[in-house]
Amino acid sequence: MTKISRRSALALAGAAVASPAIVRANSALPDKTLKIMVGFPAGGGTDVMARFIAEALKQRTGRNVIIDNKGGASGTLAGVELKNGAQDGTTICYMPSATVVQKLTMPQMPFDPLTDIAPITLAGTVQTAYCVSPTIGVNTLPEYIEWLKKNPTRQSFGTTAMGSFTHFFGVMAGQAIGVPLEPVPYRGAAPLVADLQGGHIAAGCGGITDFLEHHRAGKVKVIFTSGQKPTTSAPEIPTVAQLGYPKISILGWYFFCTGPKTPPATIEAWGNELRAVLKLPEIEKRMTEFGLDVETSTPAAFSQRMAADLKRWKEILDSIGYKPT
């Protein structure tokens, strides 16, 4: 995720507080301090989105809502905390599919997203973006393919996380265009963007939330995304489906979950509040700016989606020959 200063993150999230559209409602949530865990450090895109939502929840419910960053182990520490922590409904987690997919890529994943957490609602979908360095003079996928053929020693791409969509989507794209692309691991988006801007690597792959700001600033050039249709945040960027490669289209998502033994009535209460907050115009606008296309669900519907997506992702991993290490 793109790094944002903690002060900026708090200031941005605080903007939700002043919104006149957020009206306090009677809530069935526990009358205690509520906690939203994020499995990544403060200042990243996941953290900032969670802070917007937390501030809106404060206004809507009258509860104190805090963010608890559980960074490390590729986001899985938050899932472990839900699995083993108190099941009283005071703690939930804002979790990306990048954490869930590790059920397939991490042999010793410390929690099972299908059994060790309880889904509350889908928050939205997010696309993976493939971008190129502005130094190579490429603006479209056809131009990139021609450039690759002329530069066979530079047929690689930086990935913000090996063993995730930002790795698999780049490999899938290479297979689709007939030019094998080799992933190069980076420790997050910031060093990858710096190398792309400087021309030290020709291409990169990561969540649209990682690259959109830099794309608009001219530091990188996003040439396609992984969706069937363009993301709301950047409708001008073509998708792989639009470019003729619908079979490699893949969407990530964010969702809210809690402990597996949390009372169903409390899960329902959380779902009611979160779905209402996510549909607030000012919150939906902020999420869209971060590349998240807001979409909500029931717990049952999300469980079905997660199981179906894990099955498809397993088929994708098998098709590219990926073996967990």
Q: What is the CATH number of the domain that holds 141?
A: 3.40.190.10
Q: Which two tokens stand for residue 203?
A: 């291409």
Domain limit, last residue, from 224, 249, 274: 249
| Inside any domain, residue 42 | yes
Cα 306-258-39 angle, rounded to 5 deg = 80
Q: Determine the residue type at 184.
A: V
Same-domain check for residues 188 and 284? no
Domain limit, last residue, from 249, 276, 308: 249
Looking at residue 12, what is its pLDDT?
53
Nearest Cα to Cα of residue 90 among 47, 52, 33, 28? 33
Query: Coil, strand, or helix at residue 215?
Result: helix
Domain residue limits at 267: 6-126+252-319
Q: Which two tokens stand for residue 107?
A: 């042999």
| Inside any domain, residue 325 | no
Looking at residue 6, what is its pLDDT?
46
Strand partners, 224: 130
Same-domain check for residues 256 and 117? yes
Strand partners, 38: 69, 94
Task: Give the span between the Cα atoms of 111 and 16, in whole angstroms.
Answer: 33
CB 172 within 8 Å of CB 312: no
Same-domain check for residues 83 and 121? yes
Same-domain check for residues 99 and 192? no
> What residues have CB less than 8 Å from 19, skipping those under 6 apart?
56, 59, 280, 282
CB 165 within 8 Å of CB 252: yes
Q: What is the pTM of this model?
A: 0.84
Report DSSP letters for 151-199, one per residue: -GGG-EEEESSTTSHHHHHHHHHHHHHTS--EEEE-SSHHHHHHHHHHT
Looking at residue 17, what is its pLDDT?
44
pLDDT tens track, the chain, 325 positions: 444 444 555 455 554 444 444 555 667 899 999 999 999 888 878 898 999 999 999 999 999 999 999 988 878 999 999 999 999 999 999 999 989 999 999 888 999 999 999 999 999 999 999 999 999 999 999 999 999 999 999 999 999 888 888 899 999 999 999 999 999 998 878 899 999 999 999 999 988 888 888 999 999 999 999 999 999 889 999 999 999 999 999 999 999 999 999 999 999 999 999 999 999 999 999 999 888 999 999 999 999 999 999 999 999 899 888 888 7
CATH number, domain with residue 304: 3.40.190.150
Same-domain check for residues 184 and 238? yes
Looking at residue 157, what is its pLDDT?
98
Q: How many distinct structural domains can be found in the chain?
A: 2
E strand map for 81-117 = 91-96
Same-domain check for residues 162 and 22? no
Burial class (CB in 10 A: 0-12, 13-18, 19+), 307: exposed
Q: Determine the residue type at 163.
A: G
Same-domain check for residues 14 and 96? yes
Same-domain check for residues 264 and 191? no
